[in-house]
Each structure stands twice: as C-alpha cells, then as structure tokens.
C-alpha cells in the first residue's frame, strides 16, 4: 500500500471527523485501517466521470486581484 490514500466519499464519520471525497489521508491512519473500502490509493479511480466523485478544478487567471473560480470537471 502507498504512503497516502484518497477518500472516496464525502460523509460525516463522527461529529468531529468529516471525510471529504478526494481528501488525502495517511495510509496508516486509524480511520483508513478501520475502513479501507472508503479510500483508494489510485487517483484515477476518483477522477471517473460517472458523477460520483468529480475532481475540483481551479481556473487560473493572469489578471491581478482576480479570484479563481472553482468548478467540477
């Protein structure tokens, strides 16, 4: 297993732990070891276009002071 894995889902695990799809976690974290099916070490699995986990893409701009827009790919 790799050193880092990616969360596959967005959910509230406990009131103090929120899992966000695409979030990077250490592979040896207790939550990852307890629920390995909630994580993937392959980013390509998360970048599917089936609508389950759309990656966040920032649109870069060269204009000073302009804000970057975020959209789903």
Spans of all domains in the chain: 4-72
Per the rule left: phi > 0, alpha: psi between -120 and 50, beta: everything else, 60 is beta
Give CA separation, 57 vs 31, 54, 62, 69, in Å: 27, 9, 16, 9
Greatest alpha-carbon span in the chain: 46
pTM of the model: 0.58
- Residue 7 or residue 60, greater confidence: 7
Tell me what the mean pLDDT of segment 10-27 comes to.
88
Structure confidence at residue 58 (pLDDT): 59
């Amino acid at each position: 297993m790799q050193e880092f894995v990616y969360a596959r889902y967005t959910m509230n695990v406990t009131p103090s732990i929120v899992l966000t799809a695409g979030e990077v976690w250490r592979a040896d974290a207790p939550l990852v070891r307890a629920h390995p099916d909630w994580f993937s070490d392959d980013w390509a699995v998360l970048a599917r276009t089936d609508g389950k986990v759309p990656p966040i893409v920032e649109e870069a701009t060269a204009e000073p002071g302009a804000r970057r827009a975020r959209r789903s790919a």
